[in-house]
A and B are shown apart, each in its own frame.
Chain A
Amino acid sequence: MKITVILRLEPVLTEELELTNDARDVDREWIGLDMNQFDDQALEQAILIKEQTGAEVVAIAIEDEGTDRMLKTALARGADTARLIPMDEYDVESRSSRAMAPIYAMAIRELEPDMVLVGVLSNADIYGELAPYLAAHLGWPQASAISQVTLGTGQVTLRQEYAGGRSARLALQLPAIAGLQTAAQPPRYVAGSKLRDLLKVQIPELNIEAVPGADLAEATTLALPDMSGAAEMIDGDAQEIANAIHALLEEKGFV
């Protein structure tokens, strides 16, 4: 049994942001890239399956600033192999899920896994399009918002999350694709010693001859959210503030 996990770097959006001059993207000058947290869950789930069933885990990523380090982290976490898909930043106009899907799909054909795990969404893909696009390219079944993965013979059982605490149990024929919402356990910590041991390891490349997909839509303008007026500051001494909070809670029906 072989599992491929797709790992994506994305801009760290928790820090101060600036937009580019044309206001169509985040200015990457001061910004750092970090592993998409849903992909992190997908990786953890893959490792958990490996620990339970002995499956082989291959982590793949498309080249960007820091991909090498991210793939080494995946090896340190327990992935059996990692493959870097070379990509010159000047060769691609867009790294949207639609643009990258043909490349990932070709890589998956090459690797021939039984199961593909990927984060359900990312900052750059807030609608969770990657898993469905891959399914379309490969002609495989897929399901998104998954919180449990049980691999069987020839099929996989998935738990799909819905609003309000409901969930569905789905059985998919293998090979299949799952967009992971959350792993069965939080991502584990990898001691620096494991990373250090991998310092000199060369991550093998996976050369893909595929044409990126064309975006159907493009951002015309981005704007930072207007935060003014969103909060009301309550002034006064402790007693007055407490009274005001109490009045608000009463008004909303919380007390």
Chain B
Amino acid sequence: MQTLLLWIVTLATLVVFAWRFGTRLQPLFSARPVNRLDRPGERFSGMLGDIGLHRRMLRFTYSGVLHAMIFSSFLVLFTAIIESFGSVLFPGFTLAPVGGETWIAILQETFALLILVGLGMAAYQRLIRKPARFEGSRKGDAILIYVLATGIVASMLLEFASAIAITGTPNPYRPVSSLLAALLGQVGVDGHAAETLHMSFYWAHVLIILGFLAYIPGSKHRHMFLAAPNIFLRPLHPKGQLPAVPTLEDEKTPSGIQSFSDFTWKDLLDPLTCTECGRCQSVCPAYAAGTPLSPKKLIMDLRDGMSTGEAHLPIVGGVISEDVLWSCTTCRACMEVCPVHIEHVPKIVEMRRTMVEAGTLEPMLQDALTSFQSQGNSFGKPAKQRARWIKGLSFKPVDARNQPVDVLWFVGDFASFDARAQELTRMVAELLHQAGVDFGILYDGERNSGNDVRRAGDEGLFELLAQQNIDTLAGCEFNRIMTTDPHSLNALKSEYPALGADYDVVHYSELLLDLISAGKLTPKQGAAAQVTYHDPCYLGRYNGGFDAPRDLIAALGHDLREMPRNRKNSFCCGAGGGRIWMDDSAFHERPSENRIKEALALGDVSYFVVSCPKDVVMYTAAIQNLGVEDRISVRDLAELVTESLE
């Protein structure tokens, strides 16, 4: 009778579970294709590392630890679930022969306590500590999960306890349950009463489990099933390479994002996997600046839009507002921190592409992009003026289009046109000249690399700019490309290969370090200063260039004091992804100012060292806006090197 009853409720629950899960997964089947099954070995080992070692989870210690406790306990207590269901569904089934009543039992007892502590910590975190990253997450869902999980564990322990209470003989392998049994005994529960109670707790246990199972598909707890596949299916292409516009074979012009089926299936799996943990939100410069963008809410809104089938709303400008999409700096901090490897940035860019195709642009961005179309740069300057910065140099740089060179210097827009950055560009030129580097530039043959144009959503313009550069470079002889601009570096190194161009690209931090190591430049020691260093997103997070700038600073004899957010956790200056061309007057606090405050909090730091021309512009302005020119000043690496040679 019990067996039949359990079969009925179990099967009924599985049907409900499958139906609820299936309806949510349904949109994936009509979405666009993307290949995420290449390099299975690498995918699998990375997945094991992220789950088994909790690599990303533990970057947030408190929640990492509590999650590890709950997760490991769940694995152990799954044996109890098997025993509970197995013993009734298949009469005679028991784990006893493999240690179900000995070592497995003691593990179950231990981890039952551990999971209760973990759940307590989680509840404390959610209800008392309330970190800001939970802002916007569904609290009710989280609490219901705590209650159900606690119910499962408590009913399990009480089921064991009442079983022990029937005979009244404590089980040495079940100390916790035995203790509970003793308590039951004290209140007079034994023999027949204990049997009844055992039956009640058994059913409470299995019913809560089944309730939990039925509830999961609509809860953030779906990640129990989807986190592992989502991590397995993570992107393995270079971080700095945006996916191309997904186009079907029979499609001439891509439609952009008009419906959820215009996303790839992976784009739709991401929102279903989201745990609403808000780590992305906590590291997002746009969110910190008070813009309407929270990467977490963006993913949640996509998820809700896709499951409620909000057909009456357009996705771009409806489910996700245009403001939200224009706020992103594409700094990748969200993607780097997400424990389940959700890809926020490509989705944002894909939706920006849709806006650009429709001609609905942030007004200042429209001016900049129009200028790119006519002049090849965002400054609205004639292309002919690109190499004007060389006026005032002690020599005339070689035109790499006419003469073979060892190092081809791709100068970039900011370094070429911005007045403050131009000074540093001249410094770099003099340093290379002094060190005897055989280098040349492209003069007016260079165009903007297109890195940020692509991220602003103008795919066609990116291809035009990139192709012009690739064609120009094809006519030059050189061994490697050097650039001071991480954005150009990213395009040349990570984006252009997708267009069939492959170069050896180095950042000037590497080249200057090489020149010092080789004795071509000899810095004087002794003028050491306390400095801090800001990792540019497109050098660090995107291309792993963390060490060369630090080694260079050390080689110059300075004392580097790290800001709390450094390397992979660096905080964007706010200029990336085309944001530098857009209006930031609505920001509560500019990311660059937030960052300068972080540096000031270190105490005795006199230089804020940067290695990106955009950073020079952004942080010089931030220091002026904050009125702290007397406390800290911006130094580009080239300036530091030049000063140490004088």
Min CB–CB distance A100 → chain B (angstroms):
22
A188 at the interface (CB under 8 A from B): yes
| Bound Cα distance A55, B57 (Å) | 61
B606 at the interface (CB under 8 A from A): no
Which B residues fall within an 8 A CB radius of A? Answer: 253, 356-357, 359, 361, 366, 369-370, 373-375, 380-385, 388, 453, 458-464
The interface residues of chain A lying within 8 Å CB-to-CB of B370 are: 189
Closest Cβ neighbor of A192 among chain B residues: B461
Min CB–CB distance B221 → chain A (angstroms):
41
Secondary structure of the B contact surface, majority rule:
helix
Closest Cβ neighbor of B463 among chain A residues: A196
Q: Which of A25-33, A123-131, A139-147 contacts B (4 or more CB under 8 A)?
A: A25-33
- With known contacts A30-B382, A30-B384, A189–B374 Cβ distance under 8 A: no
Min CB–CB distance B69 → chain A (angstroms):
51
A residues 62-80 in Cβ contact with B at 8 Å:
66, 69, 73
| Bound Cα distance A35, B375 (Å) | 11
A224 at the interface (CB under 8 A from B): no
Whether the pair A191, B374 counts as a contact (CB closer than 8 A) is no
Whether the pair A30, B460 counts as a contact (CB closer than 8 A) is no
Min CB–CB distance A47 → chain B (angstroms):
11
Closest Cβ neighbor of B371 among chain A residues: A34
The interface residues of chain B lying within 8 Å CB-to-CB of A189 are: 356, 359, 361, 366, 369-370
The interface residues of chain A lying within 8 Å CB-to-CB of B383 are: 32
The interface residues of chain A lying within 8 Å CB-to-CB of B374 are: 32, 34-35, 66, 69, 73
Which one of A30, A34, A193 contacts B375 once the chains associate, using CB atoms below 8 Å? A34
Closest Cβ neighbor of A29 among chain B residues: B384
Q: Which 6 A-B pairs have the closest CB atoms?
A: A32-B382, A192-B461, A193-B460, A192-B460, A196-B460, A192-B458
Closest Cβ neighbor of B361 among chain A residues: A189
A48 at the interface (CB under 8 A from B): no
Given contacts A12-B375, A12-B382, A66-B374, 9 further A-B contacts (CB under 8 A): A31-B382, A31-B384, A32-B374, A188-B359, A189-B361, A191-B359, A192-B373, A192-B459, A193-B253
A residues 44-91 in Cβ contact with B at 8 Å:
66, 69, 73
The interface residues of chain A lying within 8 Å CB-to-CB of B375 are: 12, 32, 34
The interface residues of chain A lying within 8 Å CB-to-CB of B382 are: 12, 15, 30-33
Min CB–CB distance B636 → chain A (angstroms):
25
- With known contacts A14-B380, A29-B384, A192–B361 Cβ distance under 8 A: no
Min CB–CB distance B354 → chain A (angstroms):
10
The interface residues of chain A lying within 8 Å CB-to-CB of B366 are: 189
| Bound Cα distance A33, B370 (Å) | 14
What are 11 inter-chain pairs, A to B, with CB distance below 8 A? A12-B380, A15-B382, A31-B384, A32-B383, A34-B375, A66-B374, A189-B370, A192-B463, A193-B253, A195-B460, A195-B461
A residues 184-219 in Cβ contact with B at 8 Å:
188-197, 199
